[in-house]
Amino acid sequence: MNVKCHHKDTTGIEIWFDTLISQLKSDQIQLESNIASPEKKDLYSKLMSGKEEEFTEIMRDNSTIYFIEKLIVDYLYELKLRNCKPLKLALELSNSKVLVWAEIKDDDEKTEQDLILAEAKVNVKYDKYGFYISSTIIEKTDKLNIPTQYKPILN
């Protein structure tokens, strides 16, 4: 007797859809039992009411947060890889960019080059998503304070 076994190959698309369906079911249970977070309730409320602009705005805000966080983590990782230690480092965030304020020792070419290379490497990765870093690098003898809108990371 020759019995063929029909083995179903799971593709990436099937796995993705299965995961999506599982997440939606989980969200449904949370909403029905009133234990969903206020953000999740608001998201689904806007989705179900057909308020597409409001839903799109939420998704845009979430994607901005996601990409800005990733960009900062990658930038700081690049600095760490290069053993780059500016005297001061501060960031200002916006919807599409991270402004960097870095103070270095006078004539510290290596640190300046490392800051520029870290920025360039991260910008190559995130430019296609519309996010980037822009740096201002000053030397200690410039005696400039970190602008008030920047948040110090290293001071």
Helix axis angle for 38-49 and 12-32, nearest 10°, is 100
pLDDT tens across 113-139, in order? 999 999 999 999 999 999 999 999 999
Name 139's bridge partners.
104
Alpha helical stretches, state H, the chain: 12-32, 38-49, 52-81, 109-126
- The domains located in the chain, with CATH, are 15-28+36-154 (3.30.460)
pLDDT tens across 42-89, in order? 878 878 887 788 878 888 888 999 999 999 999 999 999 999 999 999
Contact (CB, 8 A) for 74 and 127 = no
Q: Is 0.95 topped by the overall pTM?
A: no
Q: How far apart are the first and last CA of the chain?
A: 78
> Two tokens at 71?
């960009």
